[in-house]
Structure 1
Amino acid sequence: MKQELRLPPRLRAGDVVAVATPSGPSRTPGRLARGVAALRELGFEVVVGPMARTADPAERGVEARAAELNGFINDPTVRAVFVGIGGHLSNATLPHLDFAALRERPKVICGYSDITAILLGCYAQAQVVTFHGPTLLPELGEFPMVLPYTAERLWSVVGRSRPAGRLVAPDAWTDEFHAWDVDDNRAREMRPSGGWSWLSGGRGSGPLVGGNLETISALAGTPYLPDFTDAVVFLETAGANIDEIERLLTHLEMIGVFTTAAAVLFGRPFRAAEGCPERLRALLRRTLGTRLPVVADVDLGHTDPMLTLPIGVHATVDADARTLELTDAAVG
């Protein structure tokens, strides 16, 4: 019998939050320091795990990375875990994580991209709400500060024990690349948003479940991929190869992700070549839009600013009214 969904307590000023690095190493100390400062400016006490400053592969084995995260899960003083950055290695930690302890004492766990493996694994194994949202270096460590939309959307979900309500697109966005070690002292150029792309009509409601397209595909056949029944499925990718995206969508179709989906949200293309956004929208219309509401160009992935989407929390997509709403609280 499926267990009841557990909500972590809401975050308050003065809470202790931790920085874990279960995937790629931080590598840029200045960016790390600015992300930590951003959390402190929000009123939190910050504990940085040892993996954040460890780049040597010999010291970053799966046991060490899992032990860092388990330490924070089992620490009763830590109320949230923000991940430093993504990468490719999160899925290896899953067999080592203490899901029983997380279910007994839920806490906010936030990240995206490769961290999708941990978010979905914790949701599937501990039935705890997790948060697809900003990581420390790319978003919270933004120069000169975290983008207001990113901060507001995060706080509206993890800091208030009531439904976040209607979500709207930001006025502007960016995917401009800065090499943090040599070019991290100017704000990135923003471009007008144009809003989200509502590709098909209809209305769907269900729990939000999703994340990075490649990472979800890599979890297929494991106990860490959750049930997508009646879900509002959200997907994003750092890739811009349409053939690869279609290949991965076909894989998710084959394993039943879209069989009973209530709606699909797809993230804004990241550093896409000319014509890629249009081709992606056409692909989504052709493969999914004839059956259920589909919204593209949603600010939920590698572009900035970004939404924070609570995995397991109910959302309603009304494509006819062009509204996306979180209808339940994500924290207690």
Structure 2
Amino acid sequence: MTTNARRDFIKLAGLGSVSLLFPFSLSSLFYSDSKLYPPRLKKGDLIGIVSPAGPTFKKSDLSKVESSIAAMGLKVKFGKHVLSKHGYLAGTDEERVADIHDMFENNSVKALMAMRGGWGSNRILDKIDFDLIRNNPKILIGFSDITSLLIAIYAKTGLITFNGPVATSKWGRFTSNWFKKILIEAESVKMQNPRTKLDGTPTDFHKITTINSGTAEGRLIGGNLTAITSMLGSEFLPDWEGSILFLEEVNEKIYKIDRMLTQLKLAGVLDKVSGIIIGKCVQCEPSKITQSLSLEEVFNDRFKPLGVPVYSGAMIGHIERIFTLPIGVKARMDAAAGTIELLEPAVR
């Protein structure tokens, strides 16, 4: 019996003993008891806009955000420091944390949305009051650098967070519909890439590539590859065992993506997951100075030997039309069909 097999046997044997003493299912130990579901949004609710990472340079962006959010029947409240600047950051670490805490404490605010990404979320993780957030559970949504905040809050509190549009995203029909289905209508949806362009004409641009076929179930956990690898070794990451990992990236050379995926492999993350969904890698080009592997070759090298379902090309990342993915919710993926199915509502 291998080390992993012995470990799994001991774990299951221990849980089996527990199940004789307590009348609940073993699956609830992994998926229900530790999760905290935020309340769903309703028309007219107030969304708190915060800037945990990079700054917003144009004040005119605020009116654009108000219009985009109003189109979904929601209102906005901007954080005190949403337009602050501290070099490449949206204010000092203390200012950015203060806005997050204020929005979670404010009973009139029903959800938090990041203004934009950039860099800076990692810098504030050790300053976050996780007890405050646990006692005031609300929707928190964003992507890119905001991945650090989303994953840390889920890991520390069990609160379901959301990888999805930021306030300055392009809120077209596709993006808005998935946002509303998951956060307002509380649906257990099945997500699949569109087969047409914005004008309705057919396209292969959103075609998925199956790397390893098959289906898998597990908690959805993921986000920006750079953000996740920068958190390795910290106390702010969740247990990856049995999860479905989703990844996206922007503006990185292919050898750097290879390096980061290798880091995830060496850290043991890739060996624990039940499946992998790769979103869009935007402007991830080979180096012009030296010969390079293709992105497809890197994915095949890193993922094929894992033997778990994997596909690439999902509508996740720095693109105009994106899914809203709840971090921590149990889902099922089909690598051949390119689908992500939520097995439970993400809000209550």
TM range (shorter): 0.7 to 0.9
| AA aligned opposite 1:256 | G
The whole-number CA distance in structure 2 between the counterparts of 1:40 and 1:20 is: 17
The aligned residue for residue 90 of structure 1 is: 121
Q: State the shift of 1:51 in Å.
A: 2.0
Residue 117 (str. 1) matches residue 117 (str. 2): no
Asked if structure 1 preserves the Cα contact closer than 8 Å seen for 2:219 and 2:331, the reply is yes
Q: State the shift of 1:192 in Å.
A: 5.0
The aligned residue for residue 292 of structure 1 is: 308
Q: Deviations over 1:113-151 (max 9, x none)?
A: 1001100010011110000000011x1xx3xxx211111
The aligned residue for residue 310 of structure 1 is: 326
Give % identity. 28
Q: Deviations over 1:152-178 (max 9, x none)?
A: 1111111123312x111023569xxxx
Asked if structure 1 preserves the Cα contact closer than 8 Å seen for 2:72 and 2:176, the reply is no
The whole-number CA distance in structure 2 between the counterparts of 1:70 and 1:237 is: 28
The whole-number CA distance in structure 2 between the counterparts of 1:250 and 1:133 is: 26
The aligned residue for residue 178 of structure 1 is: none
Q: Secondary structure at the match of 2:340?
A: strand
Asked if structure 1 preserves the Cα contact closer than 8 Å seen for 2:114 and 2:141, the reply is yes
Q: Report 1:202-221 matches (<5 A).
A: 202-221=214-233
Residue 282 (str. 1) matches residue 297 (str. 2): yes
| AA aligned opposite 2:345 | A
Measured at CA, do residues 50 and 197 of structure 1 come closer, stay the same or move farther in structure 2, by a change above 3 Å? same
TM-score normalised per structure 1: 0.87
Q: State the shift of 1:41 in Å.
A: 2.1
| AA aligned opposite 2:324 | T
Asked if structure 2 preserves the Cα contact closer than 8 Å seen for 1:173 and 1:305, the reply is no
Q: Secondary structure at the match of 1:286?
A: helix
Measured at CA, do residues 275 and 247 of structure 1 come closer, stay the same or move farther in structure 2, by a change above 3 Å? closer
- RMSD value, Cα: 2.5
Q: State the shift of 1:99 in Å.
A: 1.2
Measured at CA, do residues 220 and 171 of structure 1 come closer, stay the same or move farther in structure 2, by a change above 3 Å? same
| Structure 1 runs not aligned, ≥5 long | 175-186
Counterpart selection for 1:169 from 165, 176, 193: 193
Comparing 45-54 and 81-90, the one that deviates more: 45-54
Asked if structure 2 preserves the Cα contact closer than 8 Å seen for 1:200 and 1:285, the reply is no
Higher relative contact order (CA 8 A, sep 6+): 1
The aligned residue for residue 325 of structure 1 is: 341
Measured at CA, do residues 267 and 322 of structure 1 come closer, stay the same or move farther in structure 2, by a change above 3 Å? closer
The whole-number CA distance in structure 2 between the counterparts of 1:36 and 1:192 is: 34
| AA aligned opposite 1:97 | I
| AA aligned opposite 2:344 | D
Q: State the shift of 1:272 in Å.
A: 4.0
Measured at CA, do residues 321 and 61 of structure 1 come closer, stay the same or move farther in structure 2, by a change above 3 Å? closer
Q: Report 1:1-332 matches (<5 A).
A: 4-57=34-87, 60-137=91-168, 139=169, 142=170, 146-164=171-189, 166-172=190-196, 193-273=205-285, 279-290=294-305, 291-332=307-348
Q: Secondary structure at the match of 1:289?
A: helix
Comparing 295-304 and 96-105, the one that deviates more: 96-105
Asked if structure 2 preserves the Cα contact closer than 8 Å seen for 1:284 and 1:294, the reply is no
Q: Deviations over 1:261-320 (max 9, x none)?
A: 1110111121244899x9222221222123111110111101221111100011111224
Asked if structure 2 preserves the Cα contact closer than 8 Å seen for 1:199 and 1:281, the reply is no
The whole-number CA distance in structure 1 between the counterparts of 2:259 and 2:43 is: 44
State the number of aligned residues: 311
